[in-house]
A and B are shown apart, each in its own frame.
Chain A
Amino acid sequence: MPEVTKSGLRLPFLRKGLVLALSTLGIVVASPPATAQDVNAAVIRIDYPSLLPLSRLDLPAQSRGFAGARLATDDNRTTGQFMGQTYATKEVSVAPDEALAAFQGLMDEGHRLIVIIADSDDLLAMADAAPSDALLLNASSADVALRSAQCRANLLHIAPSDAMRTDAVAQFLVWKRWKDWFLIEGSNPADHVLADSYRASARKFGARITEERVFQDTGGSRVSDSGHVLVQRQIPVFTQDAAPHDVVVAADASDVFAEYLPYHLWDPASVAGSAGLRPLTWAPTHESWGATQIQRRFEELAGRNMTDIDYQTWLALRVLGEAVTRTASADPAVLRDYILSPEFELAAFKGVAVTFRPWNGQMRQPILLSNGRMTVSVSPQEGFLHEVSPLDTLGLDRPESECTAFEGED
């Protein structure tokens, strides 16, 4: 259970002998709510076996995802004290083979609002096992199929799809007039899926892939004591004699090689995608639109930087909190209807409100393009217009989605 931090239920200080006729209870009583809601959500995180990341900066924290959930719960509580609403969030981390049982356990305990950090197959298994009155929020899977033929009416997507992220990169590269791409993909299935998404984005925005190569995952080539010596020799050779290109786009969902590309390419070119200029929902360096404030609150709470997955769990629970605030209900069906309605909007430190696509339950949100040190740009880019929202230039638009589970929403 998350701790009740000082921002959650704080009593005013008594300072220097001055007595204040005030208590947290007094505030609640001052605006008597018509009804009270207790909002009990849960975050379930499946911990898959994984190799160490290429960069130490990407070492997974024990609290990844959960810390974002704690911050959101604190934020929701602070608002809830004025509305007569309380919030609690249960955290569950589980191995893949125990995931469905853990999910069932949450259902048995009566939890019906579940934020999920899991891959596509496990996510679908939970969505299909959920009772009809549950609402699930996908905080991590980028699988495009979940927003199309494999969509589920009880599953909303906070995490952007691969298509949203690759469109975000493509728009920027096209805006730069870097239209000739050298696409390098890994040899694992997830890498091919990501590479296909880059191919689709190139077609969508008028870029050309002039050269394609596959970097074989041989299990080696990872940084070791003298790894940089090998990398410095291997990568230039691997990338030599490529057709003319403006930029190298890396599709490395497996984190095997992309970080080796910058500075080691045969031709001098920038790198985008899985290294170099990366499409992120959040970066610890992001400062615009009041972001400094949430960075500080998060760092104080978690003792580390806020990452993509923490932002996505924060966002998931804030979506629920905002819907509870506006509807004065904790009923998942009422919340879902409101979240998918045109009335829903939420400020999320991205300069525009985040909203939902009623045709597949995908959250619309801007994508940061980060070099790891700075926010280089934010997509959608200027000039990419859409009849509904510029944010709908990222990812599957209504005509492209094969999702039918949401029909009747609008």
Chain B
Amino acid sequence: MIRALLLSTVMLAAPAHANNVFVTNEKGNTVSVLDSDTWEVIAEFPAGNRPRGITIAPDGSELYVCASDDDLVRVFDPVTFKELHVLPSGPDPELFVIHPSGNPLYVANEDDNLVTVVDTKTHRVLAEIPVGVEPEGMAISPDASIVINTSETTNMAHFIDTETFEIVHNVLVDQRPRYAEFTADGRKLYVSAEIGGTVSVIDHAADTPVITKKISFKVPGVLPEWLQPVGIRITSDASKVFVALGPANRVAVIDGTTDEVIDYLLVGQRVWQMAFTPDEKFLITTNGNSNDVSIIDVETLKVIKSVQVGQQPWGVVVAPDS
């Protein structure tokens, strides 16, 4: 989806140049900015109270931050880091996903069992969609026809039609679904269940979505209870799926064809969310308890660096190539 668009941009544009990496610091109430060439922190700016979910417009023009305790989305200039305006989000916004066109934004309201749809241009709420208890994970199919919301206490992935704002399917997954991510071709959907300890692979090409496989995790010397899948990222060719395993301090690497785990990469403590650089050479992970981010070389599957950021890093997004 977004990544597919970005990739085509990369092919046209000049090779490798630095991108800004934005990391929300949930307890520090700031966003840290890293340079993807030097991996140094080049700035840190205030981002409201309890910033968690973060994303950026596909054209790189606006940076969106869920300021959970302010009950709104703060919008920043990704170059000057100045706050431009705020968007209504409904109470306690945690995670969101942006339409591939850059409008609208679909926001999970954790405290209120709603998904709020916000127009990023008019700044108006287009719809509030009742979902299950504690909505969290958000994803949008590459053709933008379906938005996914996962509800952590109801334990479902809700399939929301983006035209009618109606839920058209519900799929029960394991305990505490945290995150959802489509493959770039839209045929598969991966949903992580933090307490269930699994990632459900859902066939989205079928007439009705159906779970085809549940991926579970096993690391010698780590208690099974600590293997808690959270954030998911998939390479645009769908060959590799990365799953952050929370308090296990590891990122699982999954073969996108067989959906078997092929490796575990040791990162910082309580690894939460992840983002690729636009060229997909690097994957950045936020590590909430060690207050740092880890940089993974996607080709060699090695962790090449960790960088201290602010207090309790939560979400991460990388600016597209300009």
Interface residues of A (CB under 8 A from B): 7, 10-13, 15-16, 18, 20-22, 24, 26-27, 30-31, 75, 78-79, 81-83, 290, 293, 296-297, 318, 322, 325-326, 345-347, 351-353, 390
Contact = CB atoms under 8 A, between A and B. Distances in A.
5 contacts: A12-B128, A15-B128, A31-B168, A31-B170, A79-B154
A335 B151 CA distance: 23
B155 interface: yes
A326 B172 CA distance: 8
Contacts of B167: 27, 30-31, 82
A78 B129 contact: no
B195 A345 contact: yes
A288 to B, nearest CB: 10
B155 A345 contact: no
Interface of B: 92, 110-113, 124-130, 132-134, 151-156, 158, 164-170, 172, 174-176, 194-196, 223, 225, 228, 247
B155 A325 contact: yes
A108 B43 CA distance: 69
Nearest to A352: B225
B172 A12 contact: no
A361 B128 CA distance: 42
A234 B223 CA distance: 47
Contact of A27 (B125, B155, B166, B223): B166
B133 A290 contact: no
A345 B174 CA distance: 9
A38 B280 CA distance: 50
Given A27-B130, A82-B167, 17 more contacts: A15-B126, A16-B124, A18-B124, A18-B126, A24-B130, A26-B166, A27-B166, A31-B167, A75-B133, A82-B170, A293-B92, A293-B111, A293-B134, A296-B111, A346-B175, A347-B176, A390-B225
Contacts of A318: 153
A39 to B, nearest CB: 15
Contacts of B223: 390
A292 to B, nearest CB: 9
A351 B226 CA distance: 8
A355 to B, nearest CB: 11
Given A13-B128, A30-B167, A82 B156 contact: yes
A20 B170 contact: no
Nearest to A31: B170
B2 to A, nearest CB: 26
A75 B175 CA distance: 14
B125 A75 contact: no
Closest 10 CB pairs of A and B: A347-B195, A347-B175, A79-B154, A347-B176, A352-B225, A82-B170, A75-B133, A353-B195, A78-B133, A27-B167
A347 B128 contact: no
Contacts of A27: 130, 166-167
